[in-house]
Amino acid sequence: MAKSKPKLAVWKFASCDGCQLSILDLEDELLALTGEVEIAQFLEATRAVSEGPYDLSLVEGSITTAHDAERIKMVRQQSKMLVTIGACATSGGIQALRNFRDINDFVAAVYARPDYIDTLATSTPIAEHVAVDFELRGCPVNKHQLLEVVTAFLFGRKPMVAGHSVCME
C-alpha cells in the first residue's frame, strides 16, 4: 500500500493575503512540494478541502475577532506542527495600530453602519492564543525561507533560518 503523504494546511486570519501569495510565488518548488505532500487546506489556491488532522499548518494573519480567537484553537488542535508566517501572525500586523487607540473611533470613521461590525479591541499575534512551533517573520515572508521552513517541518528537522523563533525540541 502506498505511504500517505504528510498533510499541509494553510490558514488565513486577519491579513492582506500577501504571505499566502509568497507560497504561490514558489511556482516550480511548489510543484515539487505537491509531489511530496498533500495540500489539504489552502483556500487561496483551491476549494478542495481535506479533513484534519494536519501534519503542518501555516497560519497567516492576526486575531481580531472573537470567532477567530476560537477558530485558531481548532487549528491548533488539528495540527501536529503550527508555524506562523508574516508580521500579522507573529506580531499583530499593521492592524495592531488599533491597540493604541479606541477601536470604536476607527469603526465609526470607516463604516457607514458601525453597529454591523463585531470586532475585538486589539489585534494580537497567534502565539498569544495558542502554542506556536515556529515564527517566520517578514512582510511578506521570504519565499525561500518559507520553503526551507515547510521542508524542514515536514521532514522532521529544524529549519535553518537565522533569527527566527524555534520552539521544537
Binding site residues, ligand SF4, CB under 6 A? 15-16, 18-19, 60, 86-88, 93, 139-140
State the Cα–Cα distance between residues 66 and 86, nearest whole angstrom: 21
- The SS3 assignment for 130 reads coil
Of all residues in the shown chain, the one whose CB is closest to ligand SF4 is 18
Kind plus residue range of the DSSP H or E element containing 72: helix 66-78
The least distance separating ligand SF4 from the CB of residue 15, rounded to whole angstroms, comes to 3
For residues 21 and 80, which CB has a smaller minimum distance to ligand SF4 in the complex? 21
For residues 87 and 154, which CB has a smaller minimum distance to ligand SF4 in the complex? 87
CA distances (Å), 74 to each of 53, 71, 87, 137, 169, in order?
Answer: 10, 5, 22, 23, 23
For residues 16 and 107, which CB has a smaller minimum distance to ligand SF4 in the complex? 16
Residue 84: which of 35, 9, 137, 162 has the closest Cα? Answer: 137
For residues 40 and 85, which CB has a smaller minimum distance to ligand SF4 in the complex? 85
Contact yes or no for 107/117 (Cβ under 8 A): yes
The least distance separating ligand SF4 from the CB of residue 145, rounded to whole angstroms, comes to 13
Q: Which three cell numbers stand for residue 153?
A: 517541518
Contact yes or no for 119/107 (Cβ under 8 A): yes
The least distance separating ligand SF4 from the CB of residue 19, rounded to whole angstroms, comes to 4
For residues 58 and 81, which CB has a smaller minimum distance to ligand SF4 in the complex? 58
